[in-house]
Amino acid sequence: MAIYRLTGDNGLGVDDLVAWLNASKTGTFLENATIIKETTHPLTPPAGTDALYGDTISITKDSMTFQLAFIDSINSGSGPVNYPLADLKSSDLQTSYGTMSFRTNRYFATRKGNCMLCKNGLLIGMNVIHTYSSTTLLSNSCRLCLTVDDNGNLMIMHSQFTAFDGDTSVAYNNGISISKTPDYSSYWFTLVPASNFRGTSISNVALFGTDTSSELENVFLASVSQQNVNAEHPEAVTLDGHDYITNGRIYIRDE
């Protein structure tokens, strides 16, 4: 299996992301997924906020749908608001399993960054922009992973973005959220791998639900990482003869 790369154009459109995934999905966990530019039920900002969203990509696999949108601008006033960037829902969009958000009050945006796809996972990069009187790049971050559990259910693993007026960067987020699926409750935990460029130590992810548990064979978390964790860029690495895609904390095995 090959590892596929998409260079982000720092834009708001998803046409190239949709086309790239459809052209590359054969043999991956998305092979039987429906991947489209969403026009019927796009992600939208919270009611009562002054925000503009770009396009939404929709990925539906079996009974679950993943949606992702980029944000053109935010100006919500004085109070902090969570703006949805990505979510995982039932395919009828009635039940939410997990949401990635950008918590801020104003003057920020997210644009399309670099992405990587392998047999068992997809890493999506986002560029965080400060939009007030400039378009200063605060962070070129990869905090979102789409993968599947061993029942074939889509799941998202991610960290949140948080930034407020006066911030000149988007702080590295120590928490990772693993989304809820029909079988497992979502949970949030702290993970700060040691950056040791002479070694990497990774462990399987295990999920525990009501009267059920599951070890995710191809999903790993790092306690020590050769990847520069603070850089948060998607990278491809080889460990013990296996290829992985990683953002420094989450490692997804290709073969």
pLDDT at 232: 79
**Pairing status of strand 235-239 against strand 96-104:** unpaired
Q: 133 pLDDT band (50/70/90 cuts)?
A: low
Domain spans, the chain = 4-253
pLDDT at 6: 96
pLDDT at 86: 96
Which residues are registered as beta bridge partners of 73? 52
Tens digit of each residue's pLDDT (9 = 90 or more) over 8-42: 999 999 999 999 999 999 999 999 999 999 999 99
| Residues 212, 149 contacting (CB under 8 angstroms) | no
Tens digit of each residue's pLDDT (9 = 90 or more) over 175-227: 899 887 777 778 888 888 888 778 899 999 888 776 677 788 899 999 998 87
Per-residue tokens: 160:
């949140």
Average pLDDT for residues 159-164, to the nearest whole number? Answer: 87
Tens digit of each residue's pLDDT (9 = 90 or more) over 80-118: 889 999 999 999 999 999 999 999 888 888 999 999 999
Kindly write down the DSSP assignment for every residue of the chain, as one continuous string.
Answer: ---EEE---SSS--HHHHHHHHHH-TTSTTTT-EEEE-SSS---PPTT-EEEEEEEEEEEETTEEEEEEEEEEEE--SS-EEEEEEEEEETTS-SEEEEEEEEESBSEEEEEEEEEEETTEEEEEEEEEE-SSS-EEEEEEEEEEEEE-TTS-EEEEE--EE--TT-SS-PPP-EEEE---SSS--EEEE---EE-TT--EEEEEEEEETTEEEEEEEEEEEEEESS-GGG---EEEEETTEEEEESSSEEEE--
Average pLDDT for residues 48-74, to the nearest whole number? Answer: 94
**Cα–Cα distance, 175 to 161 (Å, whole number):** 11
pLDDT at 227: 79
